Structure 1
Amino acid sequence: MSAVEICEVAPRDGLQNESVVLPTEVKTELVARAVAAGARRIEAVSFVNPSRVPQMADAEAVMAGVPRVDGVSYAGLVMNRRGLDRALAAGVDEINVVVVATDTFCRRNQGTTTAQACEAARDLVAAGREAGLVTTVTVGAAFGCPFEGEVSFDRLEEVLARVADAGADEVALADTIGVAVPADVTARMALLGARVAPGTRTRLHLHDTRSTGVANALAGVASGADVLDASIGGTGGCPFAPNATGNVATEDLVYTFDRSEIATGLSLTALIESAQWLQEQIGRRLPSALLHAGPFPA
């Protein structure tokens, strides 16, 4: 049986676009539920300007409350040195640095051009590695941009060439607005694999905006992706991208992989129960298919 690692991103990307701001204790329970379901990498928080993303304003308090379990690694998203300093003080195990592939979106997301974001990523990765953290650089809007439309192969190659120089442990492609189809994933994962240094892990961050998330995940695994991001309940979206809806649901991926004999180490039953709980906390119907349809009938 083959295997794939899933990074649970519901506590960070899953909650950052919700209109409701959940209490800290609910966020830490979400993290604890992910750990209990078998998640061993969890993107728990982001250290960004709380006036821009108020849902993440309590990042330090969340990190102070997460269960510390052997083998579980907690990541925080950072955009600048201030964010990195906060992440280090909060005791994260990993940092995720975002570079958006188009200038228009990058300015809206983090107030810089893509080239400037690449330079910042290089500095943050170096500082993170020096501090002993695992480092990831995620190329956002790697498949399409809500403002500039198509992101050409040449543009992505240019950005990946800059990102590869940063020396991160892992490089991810993000379908931030959920426009990719499996053929796109296959082609762009091949480009990623050719651009990163040997030994660098590759990762996919997929959104299910157009119901292609599970198919794209399968294409990603077939293309050699080491890690897939997913979110309990299918929550998520970018506050700075119009109509950017949820990540591919963790339980939808686990169902598909279980039936395809691809191991994830995650409990489908626990994930569905947590999706039901999270739906109650958020107060709206979540898009997860398994949450509403259930697993294969007994």
Structure 2
Amino acid sequence: MIDVKMWGRALNQMPKLSQHEWQALDPVARWLIACRASVLFMTFTAAALGGLMAWRAGFFQWDLWLATVLGLMFAHATNNLLNDYTDSRRGIDKDNYYRNQYGVHVLEDGLMDEGEFWRYLGITAGIALLLGGWLIYQRSGLTLDLMLAGAFFVLFYTWPLKYYGMGEPAVLLVWGPLMVGGSYYVLAGQWSWDVTWLSLVFALGPTTVLFGKHTDKLEADKGKGVNTLPVILGETRSRDSVLIMIAAQYLLCLALVAGGSFGWPLLLVLANLPNLPGLLRIYGQPKPAAAPENFPDGIWPLWFSAFAFRHTRQFTTLFLLGLVADTLIG
């Protein structure tokens, strides 16, 4: 039976489900939960940003944009599935590891056998490849290179990049120049350095979320031999790094306006400044040993990443509104 309500829940969070609840789900709901669809909004936003910049420059085409956004989202979903499979096979996600505590892990929780998992993964990756192939046929040029770069990160983010402190820089590159700049290129047929710099403003958001998550599970990762950048830097420097990246988002917006690349509406992001003192307090001290009484259910043991995620949503909303306003005024 189709459960649209569960679709919405899976798109909004990573729910924990019993075996009985899982068995009652329709295939779409299972796919949305298995691939952690709640984080796909960041990929959609990246493609939307590239599309907006192409529209601003007079190059927008609906068919190319829809193929781009769907291809990127299915590629991201493929990466999430491969991430879970790789970490499960390497023994990282065993023994109530962080990944199992804040959401369903279909393999570790015994909700899917490997055969069913690979069918979901094959269909997801197949759709991404078909859409990417069609875009290469339509655009050629750098499109193949961009797709190959994306495939590299899909296949090798979990291992070895994440294990050797390269996962966080990879996210900055993927959600910035590769996704936003690449979406613009597919639509416009040319590269734009203004769009590239703008893409970094957006990409710093997902990077702070990942940095926060890896800081949350720093000790667990260290014990498993997963040397993320926060493991290498330590908690204090990692917390400081997130604050530096958040500050860089606002400073880059100021620089883009001062340099004349974009107009004053981009400064709408400054409306989020009143929320920063609370974020500074959170990142100014170590993670608490247990969730505070008023902390929302279903999020702990995520702490730093939860607050980075909330800031990213607030900032990105204002950022996109400012860009739309600037485009319409221009």
TM-score (norm 2): 0.29
Greater per-residue helix proportion: 2
TM-score (norm 1): 0.31
Larger Rg over CA atoms: 2
Greater per-residue strand proportion: 1
Q: Relative contact order: is structure 1 or structure 2 higher (C-alpha 8 Å, sep ≥ 6)? A: 1
